[in-house]
Amino acid sequence: MKSQALSSQDNPQQIIASSQINPFISGALPELSNLKHTLRRVCQRNNCAPPNPPSLFNFEIPEKYTLIKNGRRFLQYDSGSSDDRILIFFTKENLELMIKCNNWFVDGTFKSSPILFTQIYTIHVLTAHLLTSTVYALLPNKSQNTYVSLLNQLKKIKPTLLPKSIMSDFEMGSINAFKEVFPNLKQKGCHFHFSQYIWRKILQIEYMARKYISDFTFSLQVRLLLALAYVPENHVIDVFEELIDSQYYTDN
């Protein structure tokens, strides 16, 4: 595993998972967390990865970090040195998959984003009941213009990209960008992110958070808001108005 850590770009979890360890030996290995820590130290000690650059302006990406294992190019677009630098990663096969599977799922991840970038933005498609990641983009911010630049670049590379629908969180910059670049697209919100949004709003109001935890009726009434996602689209407004005009909502 140490040899693989020195010669590959895989992270410790991937190295451990791909190692064919004899069952008689596995029992003598350290705990998983300690094993991953050891592999990380091996990489760091032997300078497997270059140091983090000081800014988005002054760094060049070594060729080996633009390729995947079989030598094919993975970094397909680099907008160049600027504060608004965008990097887009995908394979040509993935773009073909996005043409065949024109219902996309998109998401932005902020916590695991590399230093200097604000988020990792990903596009996925559903194939054979499995969600497949097709595009990864490192973005400098979450402005609408940045999302538009990303989508326009994908269209420039593959003009036949034409999604019928997307499912996303409620990041307005992303939603508006898709409307601008793909005006005939049908947009759907992710129920998980909708639930998270409601919960964060509750936590912002201290007395409401306490009441949600201690008062079953109150928490049930709040969850009715989440259930609006299951109401037929043409009835959502009527059902919402009926809910907020109900006796409980009027009294509370």
Same domain, 183 and 199: no
Question: What secondary structure letter does DSSP report for 73?
Answer: B
Per-residue confidence (pLDDT) for residue 77, from 0 to 100: 95
CATH number (domain holding residue 143): 3.30.420
- Residue 164 domain-assigned? yes
Exposure of 222 in the CB half-sphere (CA atoms within 13 A):
20
* Under-50 pLDDT residues of the chain: none
- Residue 51 domain-assigned? no
- Residue 243 domain-assigned? yes
Same domain, 76 and 103: yes
- Closest residue by Cα to residue 148 from 179, 186, 105: 179
The β-bridge partners of 130 are: 127
- Residue 202 domain-assigned? yes
End of a domain among 171, 189, 207?
189
Q: Is the distance from CB of 102 to CB of 164 less than 8 angstroms?
A: yes
- Residue 53 domain-assigned? no
Same domain, 75 and 111: yes
Residue range(s) defining the domain that contains residue 16: 2-45
Same domain, 104 and 211: no
SS (H, E, C) 197-247: HHHHHHHHCHHHHHHHHHCHHHHHHHHHHHHHHHCCHHHHHHHHHHHHCCH
Same domain, 173 and 71: yes
Per-residue confidence (pLDDT) for residue 105, from 0 to 100: 95
Number of domains in the chain: 3
Q: Using one digit for the tens of pLDDT, what is the confidence trace for 202-241?
A: 889 888 889 888 999 989 988 998 899 899 989 999 999 9
pTM beyond cutoff 0.85: no
Same domain, 182 and 107: yes
Per-residue confidence (pLDDT) for residue 76, from 0 to 100: 95
Per-residue confidence (pLDDT) for residue 208, from 0 to 100: 87
